[in-house]
Protein backbone atom coordinates (compact mmCIF):
# COMPACT_ATOMS: atom_id res chain seq x y z
CA UNK A 1 0.00 0.00 0.00
CA UNK A 2 2.78 2.40 1.00
CA UNK A 3 4.59 1.88 -2.28
CA UNK A 4 1.42 2.62 -4.16
CA UNK A 5 1.12 5.92 -2.34
CA UNK A 6 4.73 6.81 -2.91
CA UNK A 7 4.29 6.05 -6.54
CA UNK A 8 1.11 8.09 -6.65
CA UNK A 9 2.74 11.11 -5.05
CA UNK A 10 5.76 10.73 -7.25
CA UNK A 11 3.67 10.58 -10.39
CA UNK A 12 1.66 13.59 -9.37
CA UNK A 13 4.73 15.55 -8.48
CA UNK A 14 6.16 14.66 -11.83
CA UNK A 15 3.03 15.89 -13.52
CA UNK A 16 3.00 19.12 -11.54
CA UNK A 17 6.60 19.79 -12.40
CA UNK A 18 5.99 19.31 -16.06
CA UNK A 19 2.89 21.44 -16.30
CA UNK A 20 4.75 24.05 -14.29
CA UNK A 21 7.62 24.03 -16.76
CA UNK A 22 5.44 24.47 -19.73
CA UNK A 23 3.70 27.75 -19.08
CA UNK A 24 0.72 27.33 -21.36
CA UNK A 25 -1.46 24.27 -21.34
CA UNK A 26 -2.87 24.80 -24.79
CA UNK A 27 -3.39 22.10 -27.37
CA UNK A 28 -0.67 21.79 -29.97
CA UNK A 29 -0.33 20.79 -33.58
CA UNK A 30 2.76 18.71 -34.24
CA UNK A 31 4.48 17.94 -37.50
CA UNK A 32 6.17 14.56 -37.29
CA UNK A 33 8.09 12.70 -39.97
CA UNK A 34 8.62 9.05 -39.02
CA UNK A 35 11.91 7.67 -40.30
CA UNK A 36 11.47 3.98 -39.60
CA UNK A 37 8.71 1.41 -39.75
CA UNK A 38 8.83 1.23 -35.96
CA UNK A 39 8.12 4.96 -35.70
CA UNK A 40 5.28 4.56 -38.19
CA UNK A 41 3.70 1.95 -35.94
CA UNK A 42 4.09 4.13 -32.84
CA UNK A 43 2.48 7.08 -34.58
CA UNK A 44 -0.43 4.96 -35.76
CA UNK A 45 -0.85 3.78 -32.21
CA UNK A 46 -0.72 7.32 -30.80
CA UNK A 47 -3.24 8.62 -33.27
CA UNK A 48 -5.67 5.80 -32.52
CA UNK A 49 -5.30 5.19 -28.81
CA UNK A 50 -4.59 8.64 -27.45
CA UNK A 51 -6.90 11.58 -27.48
CA UNK A 52 -5.53 13.27 -30.58
CA UNK A 53 -6.83 14.25 -34.01
CA UNK A 54 -4.97 13.27 -37.11
CA UNK A 55 -4.97 16.19 -39.55
CA UNK A 56 -2.76 14.64 -42.17
CA UNK A 57 -2.99 12.01 -43.52
CA UNK A 58 -6.74 11.70 -43.09
CA UNK A 59 -6.53 8.18 -41.65
CA UNK A 60 -3.79 6.40 -39.71
CA UNK A 61 -3.64 3.67 -42.37
CA UNK A 62 -1.79 6.13 -44.60
CA UNK A 63 0.97 7.06 -42.18
CA UNK A 64 4.21 6.09 -43.83
CA UNK A 65 7.96 6.62 -43.57
CA UNK A 66 9.43 9.96 -44.63
CA UNK A 67 6.04 11.59 -44.99
CA UNK A 68 4.85 14.40 -42.74
CA UNK A 69 2.17 13.64 -40.21
CA UNK A 70 0.17 16.55 -38.77
CA UNK A 71 -1.31 15.73 -35.39
CA UNK A 72 -3.52 17.87 -33.17
CA UNK A 73 -2.84 17.07 -29.54
CA UNK A 74 -5.31 18.61 -27.06
CA UNK A 75 -3.96 20.10 -23.83
CA UNK A 76 -4.91 17.17 -21.66
CA UNK A 77 -2.95 14.61 -23.65
CA UNK A 78 -0.05 16.90 -24.54
CA UNK A 79 2.32 15.72 -21.84
CA UNK A 80 1.68 12.02 -22.36
CA UNK A 81 2.09 12.24 -26.12
CA UNK A 82 5.23 14.39 -25.96
CA UNK A 83 6.80 11.98 -23.46
CA UNK A 84 5.96 9.01 -25.60
CA UNK A 85 7.50 10.59 -28.67
CA UNK A 86 10.64 11.50 -26.72
CA UNK A 87 10.92 8.01 -25.31
CA UNK A 88 11.00 6.58 -28.82
CA UNK A 89 13.34 9.31 -30.10
CA UNK A 90 10.72 10.55 -32.51
CA UNK A 91 11.49 14.14 -33.34
CA UNK A 92 8.79 16.61 -34.15
CA UNK A 93 8.22 20.23 -34.84
CA UNK A 94 5.51 22.20 -33.07
CA UNK A 95 3.54 23.83 -35.87
CA UNK A 96 1.10 25.51 -33.51
CA UNK A 97 1.68 25.82 -29.80
CA UNK A 98 -1.51 27.72 -29.04
CA UNK A 99 -4.12 25.77 -30.99
CA UNK A 100 -6.77 26.05 -28.27
CA UNK A 101 -6.43 29.83 -28.08
CA UNK A 102 -6.81 30.04 -31.82
CA UNK A 103 -9.90 27.83 -31.69
CA UNK A 104 -11.39 29.94 -28.93
CA UNK A 105 -10.60 33.16 -30.79
CA UNK A 106 -12.12 31.92 -34.05
CA UNK A 107 -15.32 30.91 -32.34
CA UNK A 108 -15.63 34.34 -30.77
CA UNK A 109 -14.80 36.03 -34.04
CA UNK A 110 -18.17 35.63 -35.68
CA UNK A 111 -20.29 38.38 -37.16
CA UNK A 112 -21.53 39.59 -33.80
CA UNK A 113 -18.08 40.65 -32.65
CA UNK A 114 -17.99 44.46 -32.83
CA UNK A 115 -14.30 44.58 -31.93
CA UNK A 116 -13.23 43.03 -35.18
CA UNK A 117 -12.22 45.53 -37.86
CA UNK A 118 -12.51 42.93 -40.60
CA UNK A 119 -15.37 43.00 -43.07
CA UNK A 120 -17.99 40.27 -43.29
CA UNK A 121 -16.04 38.33 -45.91
CA UNK A 122 -12.87 38.36 -43.84
CA UNK A 123 -14.45 36.48 -40.99
CA UNK A 124 -15.84 33.00 -40.32
CA UNK A 125 -19.53 32.70 -39.71
CA UNK A 126 -21.84 30.48 -37.76
CA UNK A 127 -24.37 28.37 -39.63
CA UNK A 128 -27.20 30.66 -38.53
CA UNK A 129 -25.35 33.69 -39.88
CA UNK A 130 -24.79 31.91 -43.17
CA UNK A 131 -28.52 31.14 -43.45
CA UNK A 132 -29.26 34.82 -42.74
CA UNK A 133 -26.71 35.86 -45.33
CA UNK A 134 -28.34 33.57 -47.92
CA UNK A 135 -31.74 35.18 -47.32
CA UNK A 136 -30.34 38.68 -47.35
CA UNK A 137 -28.42 38.11 -50.55
CA UNK A 138 -31.50 36.77 -52.31
CA UNK A 139 -33.54 39.72 -51.07
CA UNK A 140 -30.91 42.28 -52.11
CA UNK A 141 -30.57 40.84 -55.62
CA UNK A 142 -34.10 39.67 -56.49
CA UNK A 143 -33.49 39.67 -60.24
CA UNK A 144 -30.22 37.77 -60.29
CA UNK A 145 -30.14 35.49 -57.24
CA UNK A 146 -32.49 32.64 -56.48
CA UNK A 147 -32.48 30.36 -53.48
CA UNK A 148 -32.93 26.69 -54.32
CA UNK A 149 -33.67 24.11 -51.65
CA UNK A 150 -31.74 21.10 -52.88
CA UNK A 151 -32.51 18.88 -49.91
CA UNK A 152 -32.02 18.64 -46.18
CA UNK A 153 -29.45 17.19 -43.83
CA UNK A 154 -29.80 14.23 -41.50
CA UNK A 155 -30.77 16.61 -38.68
CA UNK A 156 -33.26 18.26 -41.05
CA UNK A 157 -31.39 21.45 -41.76
CA UNK A 158 -32.05 22.89 -45.21
CA UNK A 159 -29.43 22.63 -47.95
CA UNK A 160 -29.75 25.90 -49.81
CA UNK A 161 -27.96 26.64 -53.04
CA UNK A 162 -27.88 30.07 -54.63
CA UNK A 163 -28.37 30.33 -58.35
CA UNK A 164 -26.59 33.32 -59.83
CA UNK A 165 -27.99 34.29 -63.17
CA UNK A 166 -26.57 37.67 -64.12
CA UNK A 167 -27.65 37.68 -67.70
CA UNK A 168 -30.78 36.18 -69.18
CA UNK A 169 -29.43 34.81 -72.41
CA UNK A 170 -31.21 31.60 -73.39
CA UNK A 171 -29.58 28.15 -73.10
CA UNK A 172 -26.77 29.20 -70.86
CA UNK A 173 -24.37 26.61 -69.51
CA UNK A 174 -23.72 26.42 -65.78
CA UNK A 175 -21.09 25.86 -63.15
CA UNK A 176 -21.68 24.21 -59.79
CA UNK A 177 -19.60 25.03 -56.70
CA UNK A 178 -20.07 23.31 -53.36
CA UNK A 179 -18.39 24.18 -50.10
CA UNK A 180 -18.29 22.68 -46.65
CA UNK A 181 -18.50 18.95 -47.42
CA UNK A 182 -16.06 18.53 -44.55
CA UNK A 183 -17.13 20.38 -41.43
CA UNK A 184 -13.79 21.56 -40.05
CA UNK A 185 -12.58 23.11 -43.30
CA UNK A 186 -13.95 26.54 -42.45
CA UNK A 187 -12.19 28.36 -45.26
CA UNK A 188 -14.40 26.47 -47.68
CA UNK A 189 -17.82 28.01 -46.81
CA UNK A 190 -15.98 31.33 -46.43
CA UNK A 191 -14.91 30.96 -50.06
CA UNK A 192 -18.46 30.27 -51.28
CA UNK A 193 -19.71 33.43 -49.55
CA UNK A 194 -16.84 35.46 -50.95
CA UNK A 195 -17.40 34.07 -54.42
CA UNK A 196 -21.07 35.04 -54.51
CA UNK A 197 -20.26 38.49 -53.19
CA UNK A 198 -17.48 38.97 -55.71
CA UNK A 199 -19.65 37.80 -58.63
CA UNK A 200 -22.46 40.19 -57.73
CA UNK A 201 -20.12 43.11 -57.13
CA UNK A 202 -17.75 42.66 -60.03
CA UNK A 203 -20.11 41.70 -62.81
CA UNK A 204 -19.58 44.49 -65.35
CA UNK A 205 -16.45 45.60 -63.45
CA UNK A 206 -14.04 42.75 -63.82
CA UNK A 207 -13.60 41.52 -67.35
CA UNK A 208 -13.08 37.83 -66.67
CA UNK A 209 -15.98 37.69 -64.25
CA UNK A 210 -18.28 39.47 -66.67
CA UNK A 211 -17.35 37.14 -69.49
CA UNK A 212 -17.95 34.09 -67.32
CA UNK A 213 -21.29 35.27 -65.95
CA UNK A 214 -22.46 36.33 -69.39
CA UNK A 215 -21.96 32.77 -70.53
CA UNK A 216 -22.94 30.69 -67.57
CA UNK A 217 -25.11 30.55 -64.49
CA UNK A 218 -23.49 29.56 -61.25
CA UNK A 219 -24.98 27.36 -58.54
CA UNK A 220 -23.32 27.84 -55.16
CA UNK A 221 -24.01 25.53 -52.22
CA UNK A 222 -22.24 27.25 -49.29
CA UNK A 223 -22.57 24.47 -46.70
CA UNK A 224 -23.14 20.94 -47.91
CA UNK A 225 -22.71 19.49 -44.42
CA UNK A 226 -24.62 21.87 -42.12
CA UNK A 227 -24.95 19.40 -39.22
CA UNK A 228 -21.20 18.88 -39.14
CA UNK A 229 -20.47 22.57 -39.59
CA UNK A 230 -22.78 23.48 -36.71
CA UNK A 231 -21.06 20.86 -34.58
CA UNK A 232 -17.62 22.40 -35.22
CA UNK A 233 -18.91 25.66 -33.75
CA UNK A 234 -20.57 24.14 -30.72
CA UNK A 235 -18.79 20.92 -29.76
CA UNK A 236 -15.73 19.86 -31.66
CA UNK A 237 -13.76 22.17 -33.94
CA UNK A 238 -12.04 19.15 -35.54
CA UNK A 239 -15.20 17.36 -36.73
CA UNK A 240 -15.06 16.23 -40.39
CA UNK A 241 -18.02 13.94 -41.26
CA UNK A 242 -21.76 14.45 -41.20
CA UNK A 243 -23.69 13.60 -38.01
CA UNK A 244 -25.42 10.37 -38.92
CA UNK A 245 -25.46 8.04 -35.88
CA UNK A 246 -24.71 4.48 -36.92
CA UNK A 247 -26.98 2.10 -35.01
CA UNK A 248 -25.17 -0.50 -32.98
CA UNK A 249 -21.96 1.53 -32.73
CA UNK A 250 -20.95 4.46 -30.56
CA UNK A 251 -19.69 6.22 -33.66
CA UNK A 252 -21.20 9.06 -35.59
CA UNK A 253 -20.79 10.35 -39.09
CA UNK A 254 -20.25 9.36 -42.69
CA UNK A 255 -17.52 10.98 -44.78
CA UNK A 256 -19.69 12.58 -47.46
CA UNK A 257 -16.75 12.66 -49.84
CA UNK A 258 -16.57 8.85 -49.69
CA UNK A 259 -20.31 8.37 -50.10
CA UNK A 260 -20.72 8.96 -53.85
CA UNK A 261 -21.05 6.18 -56.37
CA UNK A 262 -17.51 6.18 -57.78
CA UNK A 263 -15.74 2.90 -56.98
CA UNK A 264 -17.56 3.30 -53.69
CA UNK A 265 -15.84 1.99 -50.56
CA UNK A 266 -12.85 0.45 -52.28
CA UNK A 267 -9.27 1.10 -51.12
CA UNK A 268 -8.95 4.60 -49.67
CA UNK A 269 -12.27 4.51 -47.85
CA UNK A 270 -13.39 2.51 -44.82
CA UNK A 271 -16.48 0.50 -43.96
CA UNK A 272 -15.73 0.96 -40.26
CA UNK A 273 -18.22 3.52 -38.87
CA UNK A 274 -15.68 5.03 -36.49
CA UNK A 275 -13.24 5.87 -39.27
CA UNK A 276 -12.84 9.46 -40.47
CA UNK A 277 -13.26 8.09 -44.00
CA UNK A 278 -16.31 5.90 -43.34
CA UNK A 279 -18.09 5.43 -46.67
CA UNK A 280 -21.61 4.89 -45.26
CA UNK A 281 -23.95 1.94 -45.71
CA UNK A 282 -24.27 2.28 -49.50
CA UNK A 283 -23.60 4.95 -52.17
CA UNK A 284 -25.68 8.09 -51.52
CA UNK A 285 -26.92 6.64 -48.24
CA UNK A 286 -26.65 10.15 -46.75
CA UNK A 287 -29.29 12.80 -47.41
CA UNK A 288 -26.60 15.42 -48.06
CA UNK A 289 -24.77 13.51 -50.80
CA UNK A 290 -28.04 12.23 -52.23
CA UNK A 291 -29.43 15.77 -52.50
CA UNK A 292 -26.39 17.00 -54.39
CA UNK A 293 -26.29 13.93 -56.62
CA UNK A 294 -30.00 14.31 -57.45
CA UNK A 295 -29.58 17.97 -58.30
CA UNK A 296 -26.57 17.32 -60.54
CA UNK A 297 -28.32 14.40 -62.24
CA UNK A 298 -31.31 16.53 -63.10
CA UNK A 299 -29.16 19.43 -64.35
CA UNK A 300 -26.38 17.51 -66.01
CA UNK A 301 -27.18 18.80 -69.48
CA UNK A 302 -26.52 22.39 -68.51
CA UNK A 303 -23.85 21.98 -65.85
CA UNK A 304 -20.45 21.91 -67.50
CA UNK A 305 -18.16 22.54 -64.57
CA UNK A 306 -18.19 20.90 -61.14
CA UNK A 307 -16.08 22.38 -58.33
CA UNK A 308 -15.79 21.16 -54.77
CA UNK A 309 -13.93 23.29 -52.26
CA UNK A 310 -11.88 21.78 -49.42
CA UNK A 311 -8.84 22.57 -47.32
CA UNK A 312 -5.98 22.30 -46.58
CA UNK A 313 -2.77 21.66 -48.57
CA UNK A 314 -3.00 23.99 -51.60
CA UNK A 315 -3.87 21.58 -54.38
CA UNK A 316 -5.91 21.73 -57.56
CA UNK A 317 -7.15 18.19 -58.10
CA UNK A 318 -8.83 16.57 -61.08
CA UNK A 319 -10.24 13.06 -61.60
CA UNK A 320 -9.61 10.43 -60.76
CA UNK A 321 -9.17 9.90 -57.06
CA UNK A 322 -10.99 6.56 -57.05
CA UNK A 323 -8.60 4.80 -59.42
CA UNK A 324 -5.08 5.20 -60.74
CA UNK A 325 -6.51 5.24 -64.28
CA UNK A 326 -6.44 8.45 -66.26
CA UNK A 327 -9.63 10.28 -67.12
CA UNK A 328 -10.38 10.19 -70.85
CA UNK A 329 -9.92 13.97 -71.04
CA UNK A 330 -6.85 13.86 -68.78
CA UNK A 331 -4.63 16.17 -70.82
CA UNK A 332 -7.32 18.79 -71.18
CA UNK A 333 -7.97 18.82 -67.42
CA UNK A 334 -4.27 18.76 -66.65
CA UNK A 335 -3.70 21.85 -68.81
CA UNK A 336 -6.41 23.63 -66.86
CA UNK A 337 -5.11 22.94 -63.36
CA UNK A 338 -1.57 23.64 -64.50
CA UNK A 339 -2.56 26.99 -65.95
CA UNK A 340 -4.57 27.83 -62.82
CA UNK A 341 -1.62 26.99 -60.55
CA UNK A 342 0.69 29.09 -62.71
CA UNK A 343 -1.65 32.05 -62.47
CA UNK A 344 -1.85 31.76 -58.70
CA UNK A 345 1.90 31.63 -58.55
CA UNK A 346 2.27 34.64 -60.81
CA UNK A 347 -0.29 36.83 -59.04
CA UNK A 348 0.08 35.75 -55.45
CA UNK A 349 3.47 34.00 -55.30
CA UNK A 350 1.94 30.99 -53.69
CA UNK A 351 2.51 27.36 -54.66
CA UNK A 352 -0.35 24.99 -55.51
CA UNK A 353 0.37 21.45 -56.60
CA UNK A 354 -1.94 19.90 -59.16
CA UNK A 355 -2.89 16.66 -60.91
CA UNK A 356 -5.24 13.70 -60.57
CA UNK A 357 -6.27 13.11 -56.94
CA UNK A 358 -5.11 9.50 -56.69
CA UNK A 359 -1.60 10.37 -57.79
CA UNK A 360 -1.34 13.75 -56.12
CA UNK A 361 -2.61 12.81 -52.63
CA UNK A 362 -4.03 9.36 -52.15
CA UNK A 363 -6.62 6.93 -53.45
CA UNK A 364 -9.96 8.25 -52.24
CA UNK A 365 -12.98 6.56 -53.80
CA UNK A 366 -16.57 7.78 -53.50
CA UNK A 367 -15.71 11.44 -54.04
CA UNK A 368 -18.14 13.93 -55.53
CA UNK A 369 -15.69 15.12 -58.19
CA UNK A 370 -15.11 11.65 -59.65
CA UNK A 371 -18.81 10.89 -59.54
CA UNK A 372 -19.69 14.14 -61.33
CA UNK A 373 -17.10 13.36 -63.98
CA UNK A 374 -18.51 9.87 -64.51
CA UNK A 375 -21.99 11.41 -64.76
CA UNK A 376 -20.74 13.40 -67.72
CA UNK A 377 -19.70 16.71 -66.15
CA UNK A 378 -16.31 16.55 -67.77
CA UNK A 379 -14.75 19.58 -66.12
CA UNK A 380 -14.71 18.40 -62.55
CA UNK A 381 -12.27 19.53 -59.85
CA UNK A 382 -11.57 19.58 -56.15
CA UNK A 383 -9.61 22.50 -54.73
CA UNK A 384 -7.71 22.23 -51.49
CA UNK A 385 -7.25 25.82 -50.30
CA UNK A 386 -4.69 27.33 -47.89
CA UNK A 387 -2.55 26.59 -46.14
CA UNK A 388 0.11 23.89 -46.38
CA UNK A 389 -0.05 22.93 -42.71
CA UNK A 390 1.07 25.85 -40.58
CA UNK A 391 -2.44 26.52 -39.32
CA UNK A 392 -4.15 23.75 -41.24
CA UNK A 393 -7.88 23.72 -40.50
CA UNK A 394 -7.35 26.63 -38.11
CA UNK A 395 -6.43 29.11 -40.84
CA UNK A 396 -6.74 32.54 -39.16
CA UNK A 397 -9.39 34.98 -40.43
CA UNK A 398 -6.63 37.32 -41.59
CA UNK A 399 -5.77 34.72 -44.26
CA UNK A 400 -9.31 34.34 -45.63
CA UNK A 401 -8.95 37.11 -48.19
CA UNK A 402 -5.70 35.77 -49.62
CA UNK A 403 -6.95 32.19 -49.75
CA UNK A 404 -10.16 33.27 -51.50
CA UNK A 405 -8.35 35.39 -54.07
CA UNK A 406 -6.17 32.44 -55.00
CA UNK A 407 -9.12 30.11 -55.37
CA UNK A 408 -10.96 32.75 -57.39
CA UNK A 409 -8.02 32.93 -59.78
CA UNK A 410 -8.27 29.18 -60.26
CA UNK A 411 -12.03 29.33 -60.86
CA UNK A 412 -11.64 32.10 -63.42
CA UNK A 413 -8.78 30.35 -65.23
CA UNK A 414 -10.72 27.12 -65.51
CA UNK A 415 -14.07 28.68 -66.46
CA UNK A 416 -12.47 30.79 -69.19
CA UNK A 417 -10.67 27.78 -70.58
CA UNK A 418 -13.87 25.73 -70.62
CA UNK A 419 -15.63 28.56 -72.44
CA UNK A 420 -12.94 28.60 -75.14
CA UNK A 421 -13.85 25.00 -75.88
CA UNK A 422 -17.57 25.36 -76.41
N1 LIG B 1 -9.00 15.75 -49.05
C2 LIG B 1 -10.08 15.35 -49.89
C3 LIG B 1 -10.76 14.14 -49.28
O4 LIG B 1 -10.13 13.38 -48.59
C5 LIG B 1 -9.58 15.04 -51.24
C6 LIG B 1 -10.64 14.99 -52.26
C7 LIG B 1 -10.11 14.60 -53.60
N8 LIG B 1 -11.15 13.99 -54.38
C9 LIG B 1 -11.68 12.81 -54.12
N10 LIG B 1 -12.59 12.37 -54.90
N11 LIG B 1 -11.30 12.09 -53.13
O12 LIG B 1 -11.93 13.96 -49.44
ZN1 LIG C 1 -12.08 18.01 -47.26
CA 74 to centroid of ligand 1, rounded, Å = 26
Reported confidence tier of residue 10, pLDDT bands at 50, 70, 90: very low
| Residue 152 Ramachandran class (φ > 0 left, ψ -120 to 50 alpha, else beta) | beta
Asked whether the predicted pLDDT for residue 367 surpasses 70, the reply is yes
Ligand closest to the CA atom of residue 307: 1
Residues with CB under 6 A from ligand 1: 58, 257, 310, 317, 321, 357, 364, 367, 369-370, 382
Average pLDDT over residues 3-19: 40
Reported confidence tier of residue 106, pLDDT bands at 50, 70, 90: confident
Contact present, 56 and 389 (Cβ < 8 Å): yes
In this structure, the residue with its CA closest to atom 3 of ligand 1 is 257
CA 27 to centroid of ligand 1, rounded, Å = 27
In this structure, the residue with its CA closest to atom 7 of ligand 1 is 357
Q: How far apart, in whole angstroms, are the C-alpha atoms of residue 161 and residue 9?
A: 59
CA-based diameter of the chain, in Å? 87
Task: Cis check for the bond before 259: say yes or no (omega within 30 of 0).
Answer: no
User: ipTM for the complex?
Assistant: 0.96
CA 123 to centroid of ligand 2, rounded, Å = 20
198-254 confidence digits (pLDDT tens): 999 999 999 999 999 999 999 999 999 999 999 999 999 999 999 999 899 999 999
CA 288 to centroid of ligand 2, rounded, Å = 15
177-188 as b/e: b if 16+ CB within 10 A: bbbbbbbbbbbb
Ion ligand 2 residues within 5 Å by Cβ: 182, 310
34-65 confidence digits (pLDDT tens): 999 999 999 999 999 999 999 999 999 999 99
Q: Which atom of ligand 1 is nearest to the CA of 182?
A: 12
* Residue partners of 418: CB distance under 8 A and separation at least 6: 304, 305, 336, 379
Asked whether the predicted pLDDT for residue 309 surpasses 80, the reply is yes
Q: How far apart, in whole angstroms, are the C-alpha atoms of residue 48 and residue 71?
A: 11
| pTM of the predicted structure, to 2 decimals | 0.92
**Where in the sequence numbering do the catalytic residues fall?**
384
Amino acid sequence: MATVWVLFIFLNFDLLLKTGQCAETSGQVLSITPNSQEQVEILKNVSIHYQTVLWQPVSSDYIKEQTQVHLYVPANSSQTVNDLLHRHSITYEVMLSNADEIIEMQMRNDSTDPRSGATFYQRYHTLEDIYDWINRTAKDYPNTVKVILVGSSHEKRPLYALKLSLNNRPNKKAMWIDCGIHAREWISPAFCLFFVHYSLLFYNQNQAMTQILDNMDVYVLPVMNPDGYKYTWTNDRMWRKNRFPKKGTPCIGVDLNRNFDANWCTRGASDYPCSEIYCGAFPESEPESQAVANFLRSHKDSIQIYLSIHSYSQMLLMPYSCTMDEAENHSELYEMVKQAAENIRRYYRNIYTYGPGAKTIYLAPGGSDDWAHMLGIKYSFTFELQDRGRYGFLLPPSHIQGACNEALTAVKTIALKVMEKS
